Amino acid sequence: MRIIIVGAGLVGTQLAQRLIAEKHDVTLIERDEDRARHVSNRLDCMVIQSEGNSIQNLEEAGIFKADALVCVTDSDEVNMIICGLASRYPKLFRIARVHNEEYVRRNFRNQERAALMGIDFFIHPDVEAARSALDAIEHGAIGDVLSFAGTPYELGSIDVGAGSRLDGLALMDFHGVLPGESLVTLIERKDESILPAGSARIQAGDRIHLLARDKELNEGFRLAGRSEKPMRRIGIVGGGRLGSLIADGLFNKDRPDPEDEGNEIKETKRRGFFSFLKTLVPKVFKHVMIIEQDYGLCKELSNRYPEALVLNEDISDENFISEERIDNLDLIITATEHQEFNIITAVYLKSRGVGRAIAMVTGAGYAAIARELGVDVVIPLKSVVVDSILSKLIGGGVRGVHRLGNKVGVLEIDIAKGSLAEGKSLKNFHLPAGALVMLVNSETESGFIPKGDYVYTAGHRIILAARNGTESEIEKIFGGPNEDRGEVSK
């Protein structure tokens, strides 16, 4: 597939790296000379140092033969303008990253307007990150949790504590300790990513990725030394776009606008865009506190969330922490625009007695640092956005892509009729090295962990772990025989 990426920031560079590893033909356009030179020295792809909002530059990048255009510059308006310029190429799949919630909402409601602007898919970074935060809160912020639509199973990332029941346990004995349907899909140990084998042993300091139902997953956290605690007092540091979206989820603010009342179509479209808010099972929070330094924003937050205590304060003020009893919170979520501040604040408040902490960071590097420092859940915004974009770019029936550790990803993929795998059993049909089928979802069963006698069936959706670099091969195995791999389905 030929893909043009406009914007060589962290998202654009990370996305290009993943696509190049999958043998896709990538061209990057970046206006900043130093950044373009740096990326050109690091990546094996064409890099054009120029403005992206120019037809001439897009044509130089080969847009007339490209399959997809991804606009991830720092400007919402520039991203949308570039997609509009490229609308003269009807077979081109166009993705725009947009931070402004109102742009996305208005065009989600009016699909004709979105088509007129030449945008096939909007990526909203804060929506993606808020969804991840709400999933984590649902499980008591014990660790990262990935949910799969239509199944009762979830994938939890569990840090194993020294002296816990899992410390030293062989995988062949795992089900003797945790009864029920579950599967250890990956063990992360320092810089290693270990795919499961019966003889492998779990060690203190490992991060294991456990696929299980809600009850068994929570028990897995407990066995690792991390039991769930009540989340009755929650604090959000930062009341900007991201903090507000998380608050929307906590207070179940997924309601239609007054102007849409009685209009079923508009109400449905709005619910479609913000449907992630409903993934949070309604709970009674005794106390939700939003801490924001900007006075004007605090007034807006107070009107929007009358249920919350909105404080116009500096979270780093020692006296404020003591006076407002911040250290008695069950959970703190640091969601400002400054990742270093988010990490430091989360770590400091945990040292003062706050039960759990969720920190928003920019990239995976800071995420690793934050976890080492003791932050319970770390959400790297850029990585979340890259995964969301890849889910739309990869063809062959792939419906979702998620990062699992540094070297392994999770693919949600539909088995196509006539595919190489159809009709073959799990135990007799060998996937690429480093691939593991974790879960199967079908019309008759809402998710099950397959045994060796499972037969790959057209129409089933499988969820598998795969080492980075094997995605294209897996696409060919489960995609249809006549499918055009070079075109993204809209």
Q: What is the per-residue pLDDT across 411-446, written as a single tens digit (0 to 9) for each?
A: 888 898 999 999 999 999 988 887 889 999 887 877
Span 445-474, mean pLDDT? 87
Span 322-328, mean pLDDT? 82
Q: How confident is the model at residue 122 (pLDDT cuts 50, 70, 90)?
A: confident
Give yes or no for a contact between 329 and 309, defined as CB atoms under 8 angstroms apart: no
Higher pLDDT, residue 158 or 226:
158
Span 202-211, mean pLDDT? 91
Instruction: Report residue 26 as tokens.
Output: 């990538």
- pLDDT surpasses 70 at 259: no
Report the pLDDT value the prediction gives residue 194, as an integer from 0 to 100.
82
Report the pLDDT value the prediction gives residue 135, as an integer from 0 to 100.
78
Alpha carbon 129 to chain centroid, angstroms? 7
Span 111-140, mean pLDDT? 76
Q: What is the mean pLDDT of the chain?
A: 83
Q: How confident is the model at residue 467 (pLDDT cuts 50, 70, 90)?
A: confident
Report the pLDDT value the prediction gives residue 262, as an integer from 0 to 100.
44
Report the pLDDT value the prediction gives residue 142, as an integer from 0 to 100.
73
Q: Running DSSP on this structure, what letter comes out for residue 191?
A: T
- pLDDT surpasses 50 at 3: yes
Domains in the chain, CATH or no CATH each:
2-123 (3.40.50.720), 143-223 (3.30.70.1450), 233-384 (3.40.50.720), 394-478 (3.30.70.1450)
Instruction: Report residue 127 as tokens.
Output: 């929506």
Q: How confident is the model at residue 282 (pLDDT cuts 50, 70, 90)?
A: very low
Report the pLDDT value the prediction gives residue 273, as an integer from 0 to 100.
38
Report the pLDDT value the prediction gives residue 5, as an integer from 0 to 100.
97
Question: Quick check: helix, strand or coil at residue 248?
Answer: helix
Model pLDDT for residues 58-86, shown as the tens digit of each residue: 999 999 999 999 999 999 999 999 999 99
Q: How confident is the model at residue 312 (pLDDT cuts 50, 70, 90)?
A: very high
Q: What whole-number percentage of the chain has pLDDT above 70?
A: 85
Q: Which of 223, 188, 190, 226 has the alpha carbon at shortest distance from 209?
A: 188
Report the pLDDT value the prediction gives residue 386, as an integer from 0 to 100.
87
The CA dihedral of 249, 250, 251, 254, to the nearest 10 degrees, is: 10
Model pLDDT for residues 178-194, shown as the tens digit of each residue: 988 899 988 988 878 88
Q: How confident is the model at residue 277 (pLDDT cuts 50, 70, 90)?
A: very low
HSE at residue 211, side-chain half, CA atoms within 13 A, is 24
φ and ψ of 133, to 5 deg: -65, -40
Report the pLDDT value the prediction gives residue 92, as an integer from 0 to 100.
92
Give yes or no for a contact between 459 and 63, defined as CB atoms under 8 angstroms apart: no
Report the pLDDT value the prediction gives residue 270, as an integer from 0 to 100.
39
Q: Per mean pLDDT, which range of 5-19, 391-405, 467-481 is the poorest?
A: 391-405
**Residue whose entry in the numeric block shows the structure tokens 């490992």:** 206
Report the pLDDT value the prediction gives residue 455, as an integer from 0 to 100.
94
Q: Per mean pLDDT, which range of 8-22, 143-157, 162-176, 396-410 is the poorest?
A: 396-410
- pLDDT surpasses 50 at 280: no
Model pLDDT for residues 336-385, shown as the tens digit of each residue: 999 999 999 999 999 988 989 999 998 877 888 898 898 988 998 888 88
Report the pLDDT value the prediction gives residue 396, as an integer from 0 to 100.
55
Q: How confident is the model at residue 261 (pLDDT cuts 50, 70, 90)?
A: very low
Q: How confident is the model at residue 103 (pLDDT cuts 50, 70, 90)?
A: low
Instruction: Report residue 348 as tokens.
Output: 């400091």
**Which of 54-58, 212-216, 281-285 has maximum average pLDDT?**
54-58
Is residue 453 exposed (0-12), middle (13-18) or buried (19+ Cβ within 10 Å)?
A: exposed
